[in-house]
Copies of this chain bind each other. A is one copy, B any other.
Amino acid sequence: MSGADLGPRGQEPGPGLVKRACDGDVRALGRLISLVENGAPELRAVLREVAPLTGRARVVGLTGAPGVGKSTVTGALVTAYRERGLRVAVLAVDPTSPFTGGALLGDRVRMQQHATDQGVFIRSMASRGHLGGLAAAAPQALHVLDAAGFGLILVETVGVGQAEVEIAALADSTLVIVAPGLGDAIQAAKAGILEIGDLFVVNKNDKPGAQETVRDLRGMIAMAQHGPDDWKPPIVRTVAADGEGIADLVAKLDAHQAWLGSSGEGERRRLARARGEITTLALAELRQRMGALPGDSAVDELARRVAAGELDPYSAAGELIAAAS
């Protein structure tokens, strides 16, 4: 690799960047993810080139409060799927901050056993300047990793909240990880996270209180309405640091994957995800077009007429839509 297009800022990526990333060039791949983060203008061309190569990767989301051991579970899953020969990518996104910049959990994993494994790619991602924020950036990163031939993509998210729920919606299967001894773990689960969990992991199962945590979770899952053909989220107990319970977790993940296929839910989720991605991009694009218009005559003239009472705001909005389209 010449490294010429990984050079100083402002240099355009070479036309071969996607091809090199797909050929296993880790630095080219990293550069593509940076383009996604920054919402670079070249991104459109990249995504056009990438599109025909996508649709093969399996995406697993991992979420949970800080301290439950998300990075340890992630690392253990990487090991397990590497043993099957899958190429595995880890994308760590922090929806609470637009300026993550590489200090996230996934990096700790990178430093350890997978550091020299060419079949593993680990990257944390922010959304510096990406139009539409992480909600738009994350699916684009998934497309790039998918095209680059990673059979499994693990998406790790930090914190609890709406943004996290949106990012969890990107996954085929979502793991909600809790741990005993964290008083708010189940509380967090109650606050909406319960609905997004396809599988629940009680990590640190050797710690006091694990039994109660499992019982609480079981009670909450039982209260949720499940039809006869619905997936019933299993609870898997792990001590991820020792690899304990990981084989069971992998088996349950495979069972969920099989159910996604047989029930049609997997296809439904993929379509909903594409719909959400398209809508988010379209609205961000329109917001930018409208924001770009002031200074130019269209919006200013509409604003003048509304302020003067010559035009009502709905009619003005209609004209603006026409102008921005």
Contacts and interface: CB of A to CB of B under 8 A. Distances in A.
Interface of A: 43-44, 47-48, 50-55, 139-140, 143, 270-275, 277-279, 281-283, 285-287, 290-291, 294, 299-300, 302-304, 306-318, 320-322, 324-325
Number of copies of this kind of chain in the complex: 2
Nearest to A267: B307
Contacts of A321: 282, 285-286, 325
A287 B278 CA distance: 12
Given A274-B307, A304-B271, A310-B51, A290 B299 contact: no
A313 B277 contact: yes
| Main SS class of interface, A | helix
B283 A303 contact: no
Contacts of A282: 286, 290, 317-318, 320-321, 324
A321 B324 CA distance: 9
Given A282-B324, A320-B279, A313 B274 contact: yes
Contacts of A307: 55, 270-271, 273-274
A128 to B, nearest CB: 19
B55 A308 contact: yes
Contacts of A303: 271-272, 274-275, 278
A48 B315 contact: yes
Name the residue among A282, A304, A306 with the largest chain B CB count within 10 angstroms: A282
Given A47-B312, A275-B300, A282-B321, 14 more contacts: A47-B314, A48-B314, A51-B306, A53-B309, A54-B309, A139-B313, A271-B300, A275-B294, A277-B306, A278-B306, A279-B290, A279-B299, A282-B320, A286-B321
